[in-house]
Structure 1
Amino acid sequence: MTTGWNGQLTDVAFRNPDGSIALIVHNENDDPRTFTVTVGDQSFDYSLPGGALATFTWPKSQDLTSRLHAVPLDGATATSQPTGQDAAGLAIDADASTRWSSGQGQEAGQYLQIDLGKNTSFRRLAIDSGDNLGDYARQWQLSVSNDKTTWRTAATGTGTGQLTNVDLPLTRARYLRVTATGTAGNWWSLADIRLYR
């Protein structure tokens, strides 16, 4: 008998009456899963054995509140190259259980492009690969544009795991493009792209 029906992580978090926070995570899979926990502006990676349950708690603290606020992506659209196994829009649907995947090994030049619908200000881009172990971009470039013709590089970096936070000076753009600039045998998966101001 297996411990899980879909191999996903399920979680619930809540704030207690005393202001402390609790997070409970269950690995509904036989195999270990590594994930990233973000609290306030801090984050850490954690590996949970198959079928296991973990509880994390934090005492009341100002550090539990992020100084950043989520930018809604309502009305945004996404395209990708390659088209991938799943629709590009799944990377911006605010549902980490869905994803866009390249459907092939990572190659330089693969990208996910987002049209925010209007010029939008942000100072952090979160690139979340979800629980697809190893499916993060090995190297990446973030480009922005106001007209979809002239692009400027906002940041470059090396992926090291499930969650990559790209902190920027306040940036204003309508179009964003996250491009893989490295290669790997793993697919490239994006479960959730989030913007913060």
Structure 2
Amino acid sequence: MANHHNGAIVLFSAQPFTSILATSNLKLFRYEWIWEKPAATGFLNADIQPLRAHENILVFYKSLPTFNPQKTFGHKRKTAKRKDIGSALYGKQMNIKDYDSTERYPRSVQIFSRDFPIVHDTQKPVDLCEFLIRSYTNPGELVLDNTMGSGTTGVACINTGRNFIGIEKDIKTFQTAEDRINEARKNKDKQPDLFGEIA
């Protein structure tokens, strides 16, 4: 992140902890994303409550952070025209702005499948972590995960060109994270630079 004043704090949670987490700091809490999972869980309780197919992702910050909207492309074309009247200070004039695009801004509900093999019980998809990292940081910036588990955030940082600090108290889980991050680094180093200088 740029610094501790305008960096985003992005936390995964599920109810009832989500409500406790959001209200723990209403001054900094801003909004949430929903991670929708294609495969639901909770079949043992399906007779008494709905299957669970999502997690919450809460966003906190002090000052407006970096936000790079991860647009999607190839949608049905949308066109629009907007008219507005210029300031009377310079003489009133009619401005017409055209919008013609097949891209879309991200919605608050995002669908990502789980990764396999699952090496940790709270493991998140690498693609989802990459989505969040690209949204709230720029290449070369620093990402901290103070509960890194199996190291998915670290893998996503390697893949997206960010620096990473991870904290994990369980030694075995830390070693799993270290192995995954090192493997991601090796794979990244093996990728050819298609746009580098040609000798």
Shorter-normalised TM range = under 0.3
Greater RCO, 1 or 2 (C-alpha within 8 Å, sep 6+): 1
Larger radius of gyration: 2
TM-score (norm 2): 0.22
TM-score (norm 1): 0.22
Structure holding more helix per residue: 2
Structure holding more strand per residue: 1
